[in-house]
Structure 1
Amino acid sequence: MDLPEREPNGLRVLDLCCCSGGASMGYWRAGYDVTGVDITPRPRYPFPFIQADAIEYVRAHGHEYDLLHASWPCQFGAAITKGTNAHLRDTYPDLLPPGREAMLAAGQPYVIENPEARKDVELCAAQFGLPTIRHRRFEVHGWTPMGLPHAPHRGYVRGWRHGVYRDGPYYAVYGKGGGKATIPEMQEALGITWTDVHEELTEAIPPVFTQFLGEQAADQLLAAAA
């Protein structure tokens, strides 16, 4: 794919558990050179990719990058696993504590996205004008993030809830059926065009999130190095 034009900032970011590259694209747009790591092959990932165990890789190579990002798998701490699928919780590994420890040991600034992470900043897709309500919690280390005011949502998420169908300005970017978003609608809602794999879109971070955070981090890292 043709990558969007941007102004390079000379920094390198390592995106751990990168999946299809939603977070990576945001960092690219913010000016970073990006490398992704995932234990699963990701043929649609648009940047240099390393198939490896993310914790092992960051332990060995994290010090080589200017900023570390990790979206440690969230099934262990996700709301649905605590509620509807609580009986499955023990089948998912909790990678957040060992992942955080490995990132700290690398000695570089980091960003962690995970529902159980420390909430240094929380972003919602609707804050950026995207037609979905997707909240993500971020923990940071080695720099200070700025958040955004969270305006009230403007209506319903389209689809069936408890036997009632409601129309609304937001797409449900998860699951299938029941009025949930189609693949083109998911791509529109997230600002992601380079993958049409449902599972990858369901898990993706909108690139606007990490562009917003990455620009702030770059300003602070470059100022500290000056």
Structure 2
Amino acid sequence: MPYPTDTRARTRPKPRLLDLFCCQGGAAKGYDDAGFDVTGVDTEPQPRYPFRFVRAEAVAFVLEHGAEFDVIHASPPCQHDSDCQRLQGNTHPDLIAPTRAALKATGRPWVLENVRGAVPKLVRPVMLCGPMFGVETYRHRYFETGGGLTLNQPHHRPHLVPQAKMGRPIPPGHYGQFVGNFSGVDLARRVMGVPWMNRDGIRECIPPAYTYHIGTQALALLAATGMGVAA
């Protein structure tokens, strides 16, 4: 007697995304919302990271394991190119070039993110800003892509809403500037969409809305080309 056949569609596993230099997971949340299964890597413990986490050196990890993932995002520490750090005379390693080389070596689609000071080192980066996605803060982040993934530059509207001064309370009708030792952590959590983060995480994070935008385009690439690891 033949057994009945289960004709229900099997659930396909989510594409896997590797989140390098992950910190507290702002970028990760956006990719998760877009539909990725996210794994974060950082050299420091990240107890607030909301997804699977591996403590490791990011460049070494991606060279060994990067090809096991469908898409890779990397946010090398921005202190080397931070205006604030330069003014204070602090020095930090520049990891953009070695990170890019490691990303290219994987053969996977990738995203390399950093701050305005790093723009001369990035190749045709796309700039994203909060109001493009309804996020009420002017946080510019720059995204270089490769491995077949491309991004179009969204329209950047003029900054018409005034911004509170750095570290000051936010007056009514102003956007917050959530950097440094800023005030209003609870407000920043709501504005940025990162309710699990503390001040240290918020001051440097990528708003999840940015990587949701990127993630949807990465998923479209995987679907159109069959580039996924499991394809």
The TM-score with structure 2 as length reference comes to: 0.84
Superimposed CA distance per residue, residues 46-105 of structure 1 (whole angstroms, 9 cap, x where no aligned partner): 1000000001100100000010000000111122234x23x22xx300011111111111
Aligned residues: CA RMSD: 2.2
State the percentage of identical aligned residues.
40
Secondary structure of the residue that 1:138 maps to in structure 2? strand
How far apart are the structure 2 equivalents of 1:71 and 1:45?
15
How far apart are the structure 2 equivalents of 1:158 and 1:145?
31
Q: Against the structure 1 CA distance between its residues 134 and 94, is the aligned structure 2 distance closer, same or farther, given a 3 Å change threshold?
A: same
> Shift in Å at residue 186 of structure 1?
1.3
Larger Rg, first or second structure (1 or 2): 2
Aligned partner of 2:69 in structure 1 is 65
Q: Tell me the amino acid that sits aligned with residue 32 of structure 1.
A: F
Q: Against the structure 1 CA distance between its residues 52 and 17, is the aligned structure 2 distance closer, same or farther, given a 3 Å change threshold?
A: same
Aligned partner of 1:129 in structure 2 is 134
CA contact (8 A) 1:17 1:37 kept: yes
Secondary structure of the residue that 1:203 maps to in structure 2? coil
How far apart are the structure 1 equivalents of 2:166 and 2:70?
45
Q: Against the structure 1 CA distance between its residues 46 and 8, is the aligned structure 2 distance closer, same or farther, given a 3 Å change threshold?
A: farther
Aligned partner of 2:205 in structure 1 is 204
Residue pairs, 1:24-63, within 5 angstroms? 24-63=28-67
Superimposed CA distance per residue, residues 88-131 of structure 1 (whole angstroms, 9 cap, x where no aligned partner): 2xx30001111111111111110010132334311001221212
CA contact (8 A) 2:166 2:179 kept: no
Which structure 1 residue ranges, 5 or more long, are not aligned? 1-6
How far apart are the structure 1 equivalents of 2:127 and 2:46?
27
How far apart are the structure 2 equivalents of 1:119 and 1:38?
26
Q: Tell me the amino acid that sits aligned with residue 152 of structure 1.
A: P
> Shift in Å at residue 166 of structure 1?
7.0
More divergent stretch after superposition (68-77 vs 138-147)? 138-147
Residue pairs, 1:133-152, within 5 angstroms? 133-141=138-146, 142-152=148-158
Aligned partner of 2:217 in structure 1 is 216
The TM-score with structure 1 as length reference comes to: 0.86
Q: Tell me the amino acid that sits aligned with residue 29 of structure 1.
A: D
Q: Against the structure 1 CA distance between its residues 8 and 16, is the aligned structure 2 distance closer, same or farther, given a 3 Å change threshold?
A: farther
Q: Against the structure 1 CA distance between its residues 159 and 167, is the aligned structure 2 distance closer, same or farther, given a 3 Å change threshold?
A: farther
How far apart are the structure 1 equivalents of 2:195 and 2:164?
22
Aligned partner of 1:4 in structure 2 is none
Superimposed CA distance per residue, residues 194-213 of structure 1 (whole angstroms, 9 cap, x where no aligned partner): 12x21111011000000001
Which structure 2 residue ranges, 5 or more long, are not aligned? 1-10
How far apart are the structure 1 equivalents of 2:176 and 2:12?
33
How far apart are the structure 2 equivalents of 1:160 and 1:44?
25
> Shift in Å at residue 167 of structure 1?
5.8
